[in-house]
Structure 1
Amino acid sequence: QGSIVYASWQFFQRNAKVTHFAWYVADLIEGQRLQLTNADGSRTFAAIHRHGTRLYIFEATVPSRAPAPGLFQQSVQFLDEEGKPVRYRTYYTTGYGEGWKFPAPSPPRAR
């Protein structure tokens, strides 16, 4: 999970004020969500997830006084190798499961 923390830290290093930083899930895949107000007044919204061996960083910036990119934030979806949506029955955390073995098999899917 260090890759998620490191990617989040890169946002903290920007010339911006962090206004939101929280644990977050999309399709029950854990990650972190950040919101920043940049020096020019624009706002940046980001979500960071790790699924399998891949790190996903979703980032959108809107100008000052523009609406928040809500559609962007709500549109994150993970697809499997067949292009089908991924949905787990429990939270997906890379590396945890079956006796804390790494790499761990994915938890069972809901559908």
Structure 2
Amino acid sequence: MWLLTSNPALARDPGGKYAQADPTMHKWFEQLRSVGGEACCALSDGNMLSDTDWRSNDSHFQVFLEGEWIDVPDAAVVKVPNLIGRTIVWPYYEDGHPSVRCFMPGSMI
């Protein structure tokens, strides 16, 4: 029953849901890079965030992951136009704590 009600596409790589439906969007996701040059989709799964799960102060970002506010490194920010409008974070984990590989702000800015 749980399998019928879950929607794993929202929690996984958001580009994956476009692979067959919209190949252009899928290609866009696969080419995303942070300011520091880090490939986003190729290395980890992205999560779409609600506006209450991220914040900005003087162009510095924080995201709420695993029950804590995490600073987004400036080099992790993706600065291309956000074609889907939703905020996306690509996390990774160090010593069991979340860190941010890539972050693309949404329409809150």
- Report the TM-score when normalising by structure 1: 0.26
More strand, by proportion: 1
Q: Which has the higher helix share?
A: 2
Return the structure number with greater relative CO, CA threshold 8 A, min gap 6. Answer: 2
TM-score, with structure 2 as normaliser: 0.27
